[in-house]
């Protein structure tokens, strides 16, 4: 019973953690928008936090078939009375960051022959970070984070009201 009371809060908490990671990744991209040389000698590559649903390492179909309830009928007109089976406690709900990958799109080439990182033709390879795209992603992640905070607060209020009954 306790698990079912806090299930929605656990789902929202996983969303908070995931969105925090996305916000940190986006912030790192924005901070390195002009970094033309990293320790490995190349321009900074944009990073993307890949978000996945459910339990890490399992596909949706595996989770679904592991946890489905079988429909049983004793006659064509009614179903057999079967007690409710509580969902498994393996934290199958929610989201997680499956990995952080580097964007393989080409670098922006800017003509700047005075730059020490310029090639023989005077072009400098700039990071593949588009500030407008990053700001859009940041707004989306921030709004999702806020929505999860609102969901946790709503769940908390519902539990408090249920305890007063």
Tell the burial category of 108 from Cβ atoms under 10 Å away from its Cβ (0-12, 13-18, 19+).
Answer: middle
Distance, C-alpha 94 to centroid of its chain: 10
pLDDT value for 100:
93
Structure-token pair, residue 106: 């080409």
DSSP 80-94: ---PPPPPPSS--SS
For residue 113, give every residue at least 6 positions away whose Cβ sits within 8 Å of its Cβ, in sequence order, or none.
122
Chain segment 25-64, per-residue pLDDT in tens: 999 999 999 999 999 989 999 999 999 887 565 554 555 5
> What is the share, in percent, of the chain residues with pLDDT greater than 70?
74
Query: pTM for the full model?
Result: 0.73
Structure-token pair, residue 151: 């969901």
């Amino acid at each position: 019973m306790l698990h079912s009371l806090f299930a929605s809060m656990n789902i929202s908490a996983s969303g908070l953690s995931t969105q925090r990671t996305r916000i940190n990744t986006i912030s790192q991209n924005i901070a390195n928008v002009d970094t033309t040389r990293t320790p490995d000698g190349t321009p900074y590559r944009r990073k993307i936090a890949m978000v996945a649903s459910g339990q890490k390492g399992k596909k949706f179909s595996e989770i679904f078939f592991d946890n489905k309830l079988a429909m049983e009928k004793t006659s064509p007109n009614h179903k057999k009375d079967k007690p409710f089976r509580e969902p498994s406690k393996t934290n199958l709900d929610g989201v997680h960051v499956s990995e952080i990958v580097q964007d393989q799109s080409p670098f922006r080439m800017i003509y700047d022959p005075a730059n020490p990182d310029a090639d023989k033709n005077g072009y400098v390879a700039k990071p593949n970070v588009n500030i407008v795209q990053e700001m859009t992603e940041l707004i989306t992640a921030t709004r999702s984070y806020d929505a999860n905070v609102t969901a946790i607060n709503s769940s908390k209020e519902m539990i408090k009201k249920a305890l007063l009954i």
